[in-house]
Amino acid sequence: MEKIEKVRCLIVGSGPAGYTAAIYAARANLKPVEYAGIQPGGQLTQTTEVENFPGYPNGVDGNQMMMDMREQAERFGCDIRDGEIVKADLSKSPYQLTTDEGNIIEAETVIIATGASAKYLGLPDEKKYNGKGVSACATCDGFFYRKKTVAVVGGGDTACEDALYLSGLANKVYLIVRKTFLRASKVMQQRVADKENIEILFEHNTLGLFGEDGVEGAHLIKRKGEADEKLVDIAIDGFFLAIGHKPNSDVFKEWLETDKIGYIKTIAGTPKTKIPGIYAAGDIADPHYRQAITAAGSGCKAAIEADRYLSEIGK
Active site residues: 137, 140-141
What whole-number distance in Å separates Cα of residue 258 and Cα of residue 267?
12
Residue 177 φ then ψ, to 5°: -125, 125
What whole-number distance in Å separates Cα of residue 263 and Cα of residue 157?
17
What whole-number distance in Å separates Cα of residue 131 and Cα of residue 108?
39
Cβ neighbours of 241 (radius 10 Å):
24
Length of the chain: 315
Q: Rounded to a whole number, what is the largest CA-CA distance in the chain?
A: 72
**CB contact at 8 A, 162 and 138:** yes
Query: For residue 29, what are the contacts with CB-CB under 8 A and spacing of at least 6?
Result: none
What whole-number distance in Å separates Cα of residue 87 and Cα of residue 66?
26
